[in-house]
Amino acid sequence: GVMAELTGRRGGYSKGKGGSMHMFSKAENFYGGHGIVGAQVSLGTGLAFANRYRGNDFVSLAYFGDGASNQGQVYESFNMAELWKLPVIYVIENNRYAMGTSVTRSSAQTDFSKRGVSFNIPGEQVDGMDVRAVKAAADKAVAWCRAGKGPYILEMQTYRYRGHSMSDPAKYRTREEVEKVRHDQDPIEQVRNRLLAAKMSEDELKKIDAEVREVVNAAADFAQHDPEPEVSELYTDIYR
């Protein structure tokens, strides 16, 4: 469904009309991205309010980057979430450069785990390149929310190897910096090295790689062969 949406096909989660900006699946409890920077933070907070109102044990996870962290609506959301003790985890993906500006040039407080201090929201920095650290931090945050203690902030310290978009040549950093992170911290290579250290064989790893490629190729094949929406779809699912 994701692949089909990215290629504008009928089988996409938004019927091929939303693309990467409006990925949405109620069945999967996934409420998508947003074309306005930081707007999904308010939406995620609203979903948390709905869950608290309904009395279920759902926890809302609102993802946004270091760039979006400076948007005003983020702090309005923080205030309401703590005020009403909403079950929401704010996951700040700090890749150091937002769309292309270093955090040291755009953020007065570069420790994003502290962004909720004035609202009494606890936070912690996490090695976002280590799947074990991410899992442990997420479990802790979910338990906090389900205990009725309100929101929690997780700053995932991560990195992107390529530009923000196809039009971004990423000239604001050196090739050496990118290669060093790729060599020292790549999350997939870290797992691979741990598995090899645990005596898993190269053949077993190749089998896993083959299975993953099969899943990805099947999704890509579906997306490429799924039909595009009818022209009449231009007039459906819209507000006038």
- Could you tell me if residue 181 is inside a domain? yes
Contact 136, 128 (CB under 8 A): no
- Could you tell me if residue 82 is inside a domain? yes
pLDDT for res 140: 98
pLDDT, tens digit (0-9, with 9 covering 90-100), for 192-204:
999 999 999 999 9
- Could you tell me if residue 100 is inside a domain? yes
- CA dist 52 → 28, 75, 80, 144 (Å): 19, 20, 13, 14
Domain that holds residue 67: 34-200
CATH number of the domain encompassing residue 113: 3.40.50.970
Identify the CA nearest to 76 among candidates 127, 39, 25: 39
- Could you tell me if residue 240 is inside a domain? no
Residues with catalytic function: 160, 164, 172
pLDDT for res 23: 86
- Could you tell me if residue 18 is inside a domain? no
Q: How many domains does the chain have?
A: 1
- Could you tell me if residue 151 is inside a domain? yes
If 0-12 CB within 10 Å is exposed, 13-18 middle and 19+ buried, where does residue 185 land? Answer: middle
Which H or E element spans position 54? Answer: helix 39-54
List Cβ neighbours of 56 (8 Å cut-off, separation of 6 or more): none
List the end-to-end C-alpha distance of the chain, in Å, as a whole number. Answer: 27
| Amino acid sitting at position 63 | Y
pLDDT, tens digit (0-9, with 9 covering 90-100), for 140-164:
999 999 999 999 999 999 999 999 9
- Could you tell me if residue 14 is inside a domain? no
- Could you tell me if residue 219 is inside a domain? no
* CA distance linking residue 65 with residue 202, whole number of Å: 36
